[in-house]
Amino acid sequence: MNTDELKKVAVEVRKDIIKMLELAGSGHPGGSLSAVELVVDLYYNHMNFNPKNPTDPNRDYFILSKGHVCPVLYAVLARLDCICCDELCTLRKIGSRLQGHPAMDKHLPGIEISTGSLGYGLSIAAGIAKGMKTLNKANRVYVLMGDGEQQEGSIWEAAMAAPHFKLDNLCAILDYNGLQIDGQVKDILNIDPIAEKYKAFGWNVISIDGHDFKQVDNAYVQAKQCKDKPTIIIAKTVKGKGVSFMENVAGWHGKAPNKEQTAQALAEIEAAK
């Protein structure tokens, strides 16, 4: 898909995120909106993933380490017809397959493992990647992480392991939106210089504007070409991107919009088409 088509998909995905959160009454808009281009481009242009056969043994794997932004994943899976768009209305409702954080036990197609406790996704992805290497399979493994999440020590165990085991089939994406619950990441527990840290750990590091589809697309291409080292794409993003009153506001990490805010948000997203 070309950039213009991808932008149209991104508009629909952003609208879906806002609508499903309003209906749920709770959830995480900020970090879902900042990750839209990263997830859309991955699923539409790069992931070997068949929505009609989500457990194909030759598929690429996607691990949503920052599990709280599952609305963006659910929305993309719905746009791909992997799940029904109507099901998006059931987010966080009792009995729903669309849990507040991705849940494997609900058997939603496209969810490889339950995530939501920050800091574990990189290890899980490294384990899958190691498995693919052991079996000499060409499947790739993608893992989306948050920047606040980099404060978890467990990330760094995996960050050492992936280059050590030469997992060049592993591509991590860091949604670098600068905010966490209590404020700016640099004020709570500074993670910078993050690119230099990953480089020092032995990763291939690609820094991009996470909302520029051309840059996002090129990064995924470059990641596939890198040999002997895992890749991390450090994507500078805006938390709450696409909704003016949410952009760069820490308070929109974990709050659902009300009816008026939803109407305004949808109008703004539509206008950006």
Candidate segments 150-158, 172-180, 219-227, 259-267, binder of other proteins by CB under 8 A: 150-158
Assess 161 for contact with other proteins (CB under 8 A): yes
User: Closest distance between other proteins and the C-beta of residue 267, in Å?
Assistant: 39
Assess 151 for contact with other proteins (CB under 8 A): no
Candidate segments 11-19, 90-98, 103-111, 186-194, binder of other proteins by CB under 8 A: 103-111
What is the C-alpha separation between 78 and 70, in angstroms, rounded?
Answer: 12
CA distance between the termini of the chain: 16
Assess 96 for contact with other proteins (CB under 8 A): no
User: Closest distance between other proteins and the C-beta of residue 138, in Å?
Assistant: 13
User: Closest distance between other proteins and the C-beta of residue 26, in Å?
Assistant: 20
Q: How far is CA 69 from the centre of its chain?
A: 7
Write down the residue that tokens 């050590």 correspond to.
164
Q: What secondary structure letter does DSSP report for 35?
A: T
Which of 268, 253, 171 is closest to 216 using CA atoms? 171
CB 124 within 8 A of CB 113: yes
Assess 154 for contact with other proteins (CB under 8 A): yes
Assess 128 for contact with other proteins (CB under 8 A): yes
Q: What secondary structure letter does DSSP report for 145?
A: E
Q: Which of the residues 61 through 90 are near other proteins (CB under 8 A)?
A: 61
Which of 270, 260, 203, 272 is closest to 232 using CA atoms? 203
Assess 55 for contact with other proteins (CB under 8 A): no
Bridge partner list, 228: none
Among 5, 56, 81, 157, binds other proteins (CB under 8 A): 157
Q: Would you tell me the crossing angle of helices 3-24 and 70-79 to the nearest 10 degrees?
A: 120
HSE of 14, CA atoms in CB hemisphere, 13 A: 32
Write down the residue that tokens 């609508």 correspond to.
19
Size of the site for other proteins (CB under 8 A): 33
Assess 109 for contact with other proteins (CB under 8 A): no
Candidate segments 23-31, 124-132, 207-215, 262-270, binder of other proteins by CB under 8 A: 124-132
Assess 215 for contact with other proteins (CB under 8 A): no
Assess 165 for contact with other proteins (CB under 8 A): yes
Assess 203 for contact with other proteins (CB under 8 A): no
Residues 133-167, buried b or exposed e (16+ Cβ, 10 A)? Answer: beeeeebbbbbbbbbbbbbbeebeebbebbbeebb
Assess 130 for contact with other proteins (CB under 8 A): yes
User: Closest distance between other proteins and the C-beta of residue 136, in Å?
Assistant: 10
Residues in contact with other proteins by CB under 8 A are 57, 61, 103-105, 112-117, 119-120, 122-132, 134-135, 153-154, 157-158, 160-161, 165
